[in-house]
């Protein structure tokens, strides 16, 4: 996590897992409506009767205020990029009380994240207010129910996060087939009910990067042959695919490959669900990477 305090920044998300009112849902048209002006991005996203409204605005140099409201949740805050500080919070919109991020909340946010990826320019080509909106939405779309919504996230390269850009290449390229030339990263690690970080069943030898997937899953090597799927706590299997080690869900709009994101990927893709409590510590460690780590390309 970040270890340098600066001007306090806040990103607040609120969720109760309930839908929009029937009369509102009936009027919502599925899809993304996005409006961009100098220093401001805003809009709405509707999906299967639920709606999210969002905005991101530069309030001073390098400081962005982000607001997201959906499923009875309110998200609001600041991201101080220059000082690498953000303060996350979440509460129920009607009562102002603390709440949890539930499956329905994550589903809407994941849909919004995918829609932003499709419509916004990739990486640093996006305006900063749009890029940090996308990163915040991605972070919260993965937020486990068992992790408190209110927390401070701080990042500093070499202390808060460790870049692994070079491992995301294979066969000399960031994307495309490895052509039999791999750049293994040993190891993606986590701890859980099976054991600690040193237990080989909690470790995977990963080819980081965007180098193919199968039926929306990844490849693993068994008996010298690549197969489709995710091995469950095997002893150090070789794996690749679906942007292993990349911050964000799947292959998102940013290209940050980091140590903590690799370990979080290794946890949720090794016999655990995205919101598994066993992966909470990896999620917490990767939060600063997602908000502040630079893009690799």
**pLDDT tens-place string over residues 121-174:** 999 999 999 999 999 999 989 999 998 888 778 776 766 799 999 999 999 999
Could you give the CA distance from residue 221 to residue 231 in angstroms, rounded to a whole number?
Answer: 9
Res 10: pLDDT:
38
Residue 176, SS3? Answer: coil
Q: Is the pLDDT assigned to residue 96 strictly greater than 90?
A: no
Take residue 143 and report the two structure tokens written for it: 């937020």
| Element (DSSP H or E) covering residue 137 | helix 128-141
What secondary structure, in 3-state letters, does 39-82 show?
CEEEEEEEECCEEEEEEEEEEECCEEEEEEEECCEEEEEEEECC
Residue 94 to residues 18, 48, 77, 205, 220: CA-CA distances in angstroms?
12, 22, 18, 46, 47
DSSP character for 295?
P
Take residue 164 and report the two structure tokens written for it: 């692994």
Mean pLDDT of the chain: 87
259-268 helix and 280-292 helix, angle to the nearest 10 degrees: 140
| Element (DSSP H or E) covering residue 227 | strand 225-228
52 φ/ψ angles, rounded to the nearest 5 degrees: -125, 135
**pLDDT tens-place string over residues 224-274:** 999 999 999 999 999 999 999 999 988 899 999 999 999 999 999 999 988
Could you give the CA distance from residue 26 to residue 33 in angstroms, rounded to a whole number?
Answer: 17
3-state helix, strand, coil in the chain (%, to 5): 25, 30, 45
Neighbours of 225 (CB within 10 A): 8
Q: Residue 45: name the closest of 133, 165, 166, 146 by CA.
A: 133
Report, as an integer, the average pLDDT of 220-227: 94
The alpha-carbon radius of gyration of the chain (Å, integer) is 19
Could you give the CA distance from residue 270 to residue 217 in angstroms, rounded to a whole number?
Answer: 12
**pLDDT tens-place string over residues 9-48:** 334 444 444 444 444 544 558 999 999 999 999 999 999 9
Burial class (CB in 10 A: 0-12, 13-18, 19+), 182: middle
Band of pLDDT at residue 108, cut at 50, 70 and 90:
very high
Res 148: pLDDT:
86
């Amino acid at each position: 996590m970040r270890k340098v305090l600066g001007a306090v920044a806040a990103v607040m998300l609120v969720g109760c897992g309930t839908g929009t009112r029937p009369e509102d849902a009936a009027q919502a048209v599925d899809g993304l409506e996005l409006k961009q002006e100098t220093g401001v991005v805003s809009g709405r996203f509707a999906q299967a009767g639920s709606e999210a409204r969002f905005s991101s605005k530069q309030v001073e140099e390098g400081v962005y205020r982000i607001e997201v409201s959906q499923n009875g949740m309110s998200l609001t805050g600041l991201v101080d990029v220059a000082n690498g500080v953000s303060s996350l919070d979440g509460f129920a919109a009607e009562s102002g009380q603390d709440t949890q991020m539930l499956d329905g909340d994550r589903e809407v946010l994941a849909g919004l994240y995918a829609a932003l990826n499709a419509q916004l320019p990739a990486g640093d080509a996006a305006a900063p207010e749009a890029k940090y909106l996308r990163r915040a939405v991605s972070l919260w779309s993965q937020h486990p129910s068992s992790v408190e919504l209110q927390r401070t996230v701080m990042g500093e390269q070499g202390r808060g996060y460790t870049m692994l850009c070079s491992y995301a290449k294979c066969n000399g390229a960031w994307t495309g087939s490895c052509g039999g030339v791999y750049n293994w990263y040993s190891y993606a690690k986590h701890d859980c009910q099976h054991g600690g970080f040193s237990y080989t069943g909690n470790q995977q030898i990963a080819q980081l990067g965007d180098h193919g997937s199968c039926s929306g899953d990844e490849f693993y090597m068994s008996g010298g042959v690549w197969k489709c799927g995710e091995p469950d706590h095997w002893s150090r299997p070789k794996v690749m695919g679906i942007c292993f080690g990349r911050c964000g869900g799947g292959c998102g709009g940013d290209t940050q490959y980091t140590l903590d994101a690799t370990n979080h990927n290794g946890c949720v893709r090794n016999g655990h669900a995205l919101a598994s409590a066993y992966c909470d510590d990896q999620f917490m460690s990767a939060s600063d990477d997602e908000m502040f780590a630079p893009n690799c390309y």
